[in-house]
């Protein structure tokens, strides 16, 4: 009998199967029916293992997966825990989240070591299978997207770009600055949320708890890059014009500051600025913020 058959049966008992009967004769019959390719001796050996022993492995695995989701989606998992507990207060939030992870496994098993794969599966699971959670708080989908975006930036591969140094721009002429080469890294995330996600994140980091009520509706435009100095994820709040301008720029393709400035100006109302100098100063201030967050960088070998 191939070894992988017995290992496959053990895997199914740990991850996918119900506990089954515990009485020895009934359990032996159940094992034989569920895994007909096992030899009688192998079925006997497998049936002799108490169901609760497999349960220890089951709990360890799914509790570990729950912990990973709490790390990747701390605010989202807390929000989901609150929603689940409001519907069923008979169980602790941790138990309800554990059951949710079991549901996630049935929807899309986590079969790699990649946290990003787990995160993508989790987001798809909530969107496809748990619309009830999204209907309870309409902002939940955006919160999950916000936390997944930060995870994608955190784990993204390094790209051959260098940081822009706004403090060096004072020595450049306007023409030299505008013709400087820039690039928006592939991993930069530009999103919208229906609430102030940065403020909610700030509140969470203060004491790892959500506010009593759901955040107020407030359309927010956000971008996340990797701080060139600390290499930590850094969010920047955008106005609608900046959001549109950054989205219009291709990723990891060399452009100039003038290209980005043109896209930004093209989206402005006609009377947004009194003159070109005022507009230029406003744009440079925003560009400096984007540079410090690693949202806009320079191609490798380009002058900053």
> Which position has the token pair 């999103």?
191
Contacts of 108 (CB under 8 A, 6+ apart): 121, 124, 125
DSSP string across 44-61: HHHHTS-HHHHHHHHHHH
pLDDT (tens digit per residue) in 59-84: 888 899 999 999 999 999 999 999 99
Report the DSSP pairing between strands 298-299 and 189-193: unpaired
Tell me the β-bridge partners of 59: none
Predicted TM-score (pTM) above 0.75? yes
Task: Using alpha carbons, select from 109, 149, 103, 110 the residue that is nearest to residue 126.
Answer: 103
pLDDT (tens digit per residue) in 105-140: 999 999 888 999 999 999 999 999 999 999 999 999
User: Rg of the chain's alpha carbons, rounded to an integer?
Assistant: 26
Contacts of 77 (CB under 8 A, 6+ apart): 69, 70, 97
Question: Which CATH number applies to 158-299: 3.90.930.50, 3.40.30.10, 3.40.640.10, 3.40.1010.10?
Answer: 3.90.930.50
Give domain limits for the chain. Answer: 3-151, 158-299
């Amino acid at each position: 009998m191939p070894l992988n058959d017995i290992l496959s049966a053990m895997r199914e008992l740990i991850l996918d199967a119900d506990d089954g009967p515990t009485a020895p004769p009934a359990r032996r019959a159940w094992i034989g029916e569920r895994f007909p390719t096992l030899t009688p001796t192998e079925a006997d050996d497998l049936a002799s293992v108490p169901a609760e022993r497999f349960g220890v492995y089951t709990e360890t695995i799914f509790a570990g997966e729950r912990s990973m989701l709490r790390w990747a989606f701390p605010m989202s998992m807390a929000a989901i825990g609150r929603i689940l507990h409001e519907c069923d207060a008979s169980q602790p939030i941790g138990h309800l989240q554990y059951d949710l992870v079991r549901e996630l496994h049935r929807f899309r098993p986590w079969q790699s070591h990649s946290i990003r794969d787990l995160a993508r599966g989790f987001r798809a699971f909530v969107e496809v299978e748990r619309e009830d959670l999204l209907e309870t708080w309409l902002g939940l989908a955006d919160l999950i997207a916000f936390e997944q975006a930060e995870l994608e930036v955190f784990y993204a591969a390094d790209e051959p770009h260098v940081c822009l140094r706004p403090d060096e721009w004072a020595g450049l002429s306007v023409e030299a600055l505008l013709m400087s080469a820039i690039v928006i890294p592939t991993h930069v995330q530009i999103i919208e949320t229906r609430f102030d996600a940065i403020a909610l994140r700030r509140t969470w980091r203060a004491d790892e708890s959500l506010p009593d009520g759901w955040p107020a509706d407030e359309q927010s435009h956000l971008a996340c890059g990797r701080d060139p100095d600390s290499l930590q994820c850094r969010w920047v709040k955008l106005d609608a014009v900046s959001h549109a301008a950054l989205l219009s720029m291709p990723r990891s393709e060399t452009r100039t500051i003038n290209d980005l400035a043109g896209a930004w100006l093209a989206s402005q109302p006609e009377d947004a600025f009194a003159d070109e100098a005022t507009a230029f100063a406003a744009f440079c201030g925003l560009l400096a913020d984007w540079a410090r967050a690693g949202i806009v960088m320079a191609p490798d070998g380009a002058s900053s």
